[in-house]
Amino acid sequence: MSYGVESNIDWQTTIDEIAIEIQPLLSQGQVANYIPELSNVKDDAFGLSISLLDGQEFQVGDASTNFSVQSISKVYSLTKAFSLLKDKLWERVGKEPSGNPFNSLIQLEHENGKPRNPFINAGAIVVADCVVSNTPDSVNTIIDYVRQLAGNKKIAIDQAMFQSEKSFGHRNAALAHFMKSYGNIESDVDEVLDFYFGHCSLKMNCQDVAKSFLFLANHGVHPITGKRYLTASQAKRMNALLLTCGTYDAAGDFAFRVGMPGKSGVGGGIAAIIPGLLSVCVWSPGLDKYGNSLAGVKALELFTTKTEISIF
Ligand code: GLN
């Protein structure tokens, strides 16, 4: 796909300008602290990395500083589960925006233990169960998977973050046990939660995350290795879910302002793609009231506004 204008864009100048323009916002967000380890971060950090399908990369700011990917990792585990279970997956998790916070318990009882979508925590825990129940060593499988996608063998789980999530993950444990009572969790709940907390605790930088999303801009095929992770149809569905559910109950606002399918995490990262062209990851730990990076959303809004490239 060609957008016709991208050859005229000076990517580096564009992102350098963005890094300056978002500076006043860096003090306005709130760093997540409901997982205590998440608050151990420089709250004025800002990084952004772009990966183009043709292999070019551009970075600004703290783009090579590791951060906790948190919910961005739900995309990796969903990719794995979708490729394993195919459309059977949707018998256990829905595809509609939730309109509720990412860790809400309310909807689940009304909907008999079937989460609205795979990106709210309940949905991601069902997805985690699908991976755990269908792979012999789920934790190492997902680490290898992410290392391949990002082309970085050093990517690992942050053990302090993992322990912190495990110790304070009472809501997630409640969600998992509740869904088990409806028969929507097959494996042992603790094993499923360990896998879920494990992938949320992956430490990556903006460059790694941007590269790891490139296959979604390329119909499911990694443009550098040529390896297929999803069929073209599955990649289409994944991008649709990212657009409608990837930033929780702010997905409408994100689509309106940014115009890209994207996934946020409470570590302050957001990854987004433009099909046929690029992937981008921005990181800034101060969050808005929906749990999305405040400066990160603004940076992506500036990016699509300045370049005049979005999916719309
Ligand atoms: N691990 C986090 C949690 O379960 C992920 C939430 C997020 O990034 N939105 O609460």
Of 165, 266, 287, 288, best ligand 1 pocket probe by most atoms within 8 Å of the beta carbon: 266
279 lines ligand 1 (CB under 6 A): no
Distance CA 227, CA 81 (A): 17
Question: In sequence order, what are the beta bridge partners of 283?
Answer: 47, 269
What local confidence, expressed as pLDDT, does residue 152 receive? 98
Contact 71, 265 (CB under 8 A): yes
Give residue 266's region: left, alpha or beta (phi > 0; psi -120 to 50): alpha
Atom of ligand 1 nearest to the CA of 291: 9
- Inter-axis angle of helices 121-134 and 138-150, nearest 10: 110
Distance CA 13, CA 301 (A): 16
Residue 26 CA to ligand 1 center (angstroms) comes to: 21
Residue 65 CA to ligand 1 center (angstroms) comes to: 20
Residue 101 CA to ligand 1 center (angstroms) comes to: 11
Environment class of residue 228 by beta-carbon count within 10 Å: exposed (0-12), middle (13-18) or buried (19+)? middle
Distance CA 156, CA 203 (A): 6
Of 73, 195, 200, 293, best ligand 1 pocket probe by most atoms within 8 Å of the beta carbon: 200
Question: How far, in Å, are 125, 295, 296 from residue 78 at the CA level?
Answer: 10, 27, 23
Of 39, 69, 70, best ligand 1 pocket probe by most atoms within 8 Å of the beta carbon: 70
287 lines ligand 1 (CB under 6 A): no
291 lines ligand 1 (CB under 6 A): yes
pTM of the predicted model as reported, rounded to 2 decimal places = 0.97
Residue 226 CA to ligand 1 center (angstroms) comes to: 31
Give residue 70's region: left, alpha or beta (phi > 0; psi -120 to 50): left
Give phi and psi for 139, each to the nearest 5.
Answer: -65, -50
What is the chain's pLDDT, residue by residue, as a tens digit (312 residues)?
Answer: 556 667 789 999 999 999 999 999 998 999 999 999 999 999 999 999 999 999 999 999 999 999 999 999 999 999 999 999 999 999 999 999 998 889 999 989 999 999 999 999 999 999 999 999 999 999 999 999 999 999 999 999 999 999 999 999 999 999 999 999 999 999 999 999 999 999 999 999 999 999 999 999 999 999 999 999 999 999 999 999 999 999 989 999 999 999 999 999 999 999 999 999 999 999 999 999 999 999 999 999 999 999 999 999
